[in-house]
Amino acid sequence: MVKGMTTRGYTHTKDRYRSRLRRIEGQVRGLERMVDDDEYCIDVLTQIAAVTKALQGVGLGLLDEHLRHCVRDAASASAEAGDEKVEEAVRAVERLLRG
């Protein structure tokens, strides 16, 4: 790791996330092709749902790692720091659910 850089909860699984995001990127490019090719609306919507679900999976994985790493570490440091990280996580969940 580079000096001064912070270790994130997902640092050790970063390659897995990058791979998943590249697959999602390919799915989005496929969606663009479907629209360009005037594919059937329901088929496009089905693919949009698949991309959305894939992104939600990445988000939930990152949230899980945040709770297990960042929140746990903060709670070990102090109750106040732990509470701040829990509040941060709750706001992140709210954003994911609203999305």
Ranges of each domain in the chain: 13-98
Q: How far, in Å, CA of 62 to CA of 21, rounded?
A: 12
Asked if residue 11 lies in contact with residue 70, where contact means CB atoms within 8 angstroms, the answer is no
pTM score above 0.95: no
Task: For 2, list phi and psi in degrees, rounded to 5.
Answer: -75, 140
In this prediction, what percent of the chain has a pLDDT beyond 70? 94
Asked if residue 24 lies in contact with residue 58, where contact means CB atoms within 8 angstroms, the answer is yes
DSSP 13: G
Q: What topology does CATH give the domain 13-98?
A: Methane Monooxygenase Hydroxylase; Chain G, domain 1 (1.20.58)
Per-residue pLDDT of the chain (99 residues; tens, 9 = 90+): 445 557 787 878 899 999 999 999 999 999 999 999 999 999 999 999 999 999 999 999 999 999 999 999 999 999 999 999 999 999 999 998 886
Q: How far, in Å, CA of 69 to CA of 87, rounded?
A: 15
